[in-house]
């Protein structure tokens, strides 16, 4: 009898350890949304919301305090933000204004750090679009300079910037993960890293093997079903295999956000969460 109790105790102990380890390494699944979508995302069961940096930075002080209070009251976390630099603040071209850039960045970082943000994605296609007639090489150099200037501000607030490649339909520079990786390596700062967006990867027909090459720099992911940029729901709707297989191979254990549209959020959001859970658990 005592042996049975001892064995049961050991089994329960090991089960608890296994559960705790699995929970600790479970991928967090979030949703990219404006502030007005917080309640909807929470009700759907997302682990976190990925809010818009520029929207947060643009709030009045009183509205920002209301947002902060709401997130605390609901217990909703915001570990990542997107839409970093608004289009009117240029990152490339002859009209770059470094003082304007830094004034905005400091305010944005101050705001998001108070919400507990750890990663700010740098897509901002309109801001980084290289003007016609301006050298792409010079534009790349300006992006390197910008990232080097904002890295210390990010580090001071425990924030990592994750450079996001965007397909050429949305921007004319840093279109692939390979190009984003080249930017990260050129900046050579621990607070300037990489994110990968499945939608943009497919749009650029990029080999998901880039995940293996970039493994030490990947800090965040976005995903959508490329056919319509809608919620990913099923394995048979698109070929997701290579993407998730390589994430498994590198032991990716951070976060992924759904950045996609839907005609039925209440039904499809939980289905998308379940799909992504299965994709990472396989």
Please determine, for residue 138, whether its predicted confidence score (pLDDT) is greater than 70.
Answer: yes
In a domain, 54, yes or no: yes
Residue 122 lies in a domain: yes
Distance CA 155, CA 1 (A): 58
**Residue range 59-118, pLDDT digits in tens:** 999 999 999 999 999 999 999 999 999 999 999 999 999 999 999 999 999 999 999 999
Kindly state the tokens that stand for 130: 């290289």
**DSSP-H helix ranges across the chain:** 2-24, 38-44, 53-57, 61-74, 98-114, 125-128, 136-156, 177-187, 198-203, 210-213, 241-250, 265-281
Does residue 76 belong to any structural domain of this protein?
Answer: yes
The pLDDT value given to residue 11: 40
3-class DSSP assignment, residue 23: helix
Q: What is the pTM of this model?
A: 0.90
**14 part of a folded domain:** no
pLDDT tens figures, 121-132:
999 999 999 999
- Whether 20 maps to a domain, the answer reads no
Tell me the pLDDT tens digit for each residue of 256-268. Answer: 999 999 999 999 9
Q: Which of 169, 96, 200 is nearest to 138 (CA)?
A: 96
Give residues with Cβ within 8 angstroms of 185, minimum separation 6: none
Its sign, for the CA torsion 201, 206, 207, 212, is negative
- Would you say residue 15 lies in a domain? no
Quote the pLDDT of residue 58. 98
Distance CA 216, CA 143 (A): 21
How many domains, in total, are found in the chain? Answer: 1
Report residue 40 CA to chain centroid gap.
19
By DSSP bridging, strand 255-258 and strand 48-52 are: unpaired
- Tell me the average pLDDT across 220-242: 97
Q: What is residue 26's predicted lDDT score, i.e. its pLDDT? A: 85
Quick check: 183 and 171 in contact, CB under 8 A?
no
Does 66 map to a domain? yes
pLDDT confidence of 25, banded at 50, 70, 90? low
Sequence-distant (6+) residues with CB within 8 A of 268 are: 230, 231, 233, 262
Q: Does pLDDT of 14 surpass 50?
A: no
Domain enclosing residue 50, as ranges: 26-281
pLDDT at residue 55, rounded to an integer: 98
Say whether pLDDT at 18 is over 50: no
CA–CA gap between residue 1 and residue 37 (Å, rounded)? 56
Q: Provide the 3-class DSSP secondary structure of residue 215.
A: coil
The 8-class DSSP code of residue 145 comes to H
Mean pLDDT of 47-60: 98
Q: Is the pLDDT confidence value at 228 over 50?
A: yes
Of the candidates 104, 193, 116, 102, the one whose C-alpha atom is nearest the C-alpha of residue 157 is 116
Does residue 8 sit within a domain?
A: no
Supply the CATH number for residue 257's domain: 3.20.20.150
- Inter-residue contact 212 to 250 (CB < 8 Å): yes
15 or 167, greater pLDDT: 167
């Amino acid at each position: 009898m005592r042996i049975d109790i001892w064995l049961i105790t050991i089994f329960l102990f090991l089960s608890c350890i296994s559960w705790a380890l699995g929970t600790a390494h479970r991928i967090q699944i979030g949703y990219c949304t404006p502030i007005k979508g917080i309640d909807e995302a929470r009700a759907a069961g997302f682990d976190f919301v990925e809010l818009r940096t520029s929207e947060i930075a643009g709030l009045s002080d009183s509205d920002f305090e209301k947002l902060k209070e709401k997130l605390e009251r609901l217990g909703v976390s915001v570990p990542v933000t997107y839409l970093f630099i608004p289009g009117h603040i240029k990152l490339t071209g002859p009209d770059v204004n470094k003082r304007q850039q830094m004034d905005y960045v400091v305010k944005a970082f101050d705001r998001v750090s108070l919400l507990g943000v750890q990663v700010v994605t740098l897509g901002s296609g309109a801001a980084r679009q290289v003007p016609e007639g301006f050298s792409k090489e010079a534009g790349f150099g300006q992006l390197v300079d910008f990232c080097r200037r904002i890295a210390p501000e990010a580090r001071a607030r425990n924030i990592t910037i994750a450079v996001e490649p965007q397909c050429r339909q949305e921007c004319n520079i840093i279109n692939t993960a390979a190009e984003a990786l080249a930017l990260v390596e050129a900046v050579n700062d621990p607070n300037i890293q990489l994110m990968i967006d499945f939608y943009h990867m497919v749009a650029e027909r990029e080999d998901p093997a880039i995940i293996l090459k970039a493994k030490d720099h990947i800090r965040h992911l976005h995903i959508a079903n490329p056919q319509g940029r809608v919620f990913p729901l099923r394995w048979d709707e698109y070929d997701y295999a290579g993407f998730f297989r390589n994430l498994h191979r590198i032991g990716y254990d951070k976060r992924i956000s759904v950045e996609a549209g839907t005609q039925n959020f209440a039904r499809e959001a939980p289905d998308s969460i379940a799909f992504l859970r299965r994709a990472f658990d396989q």
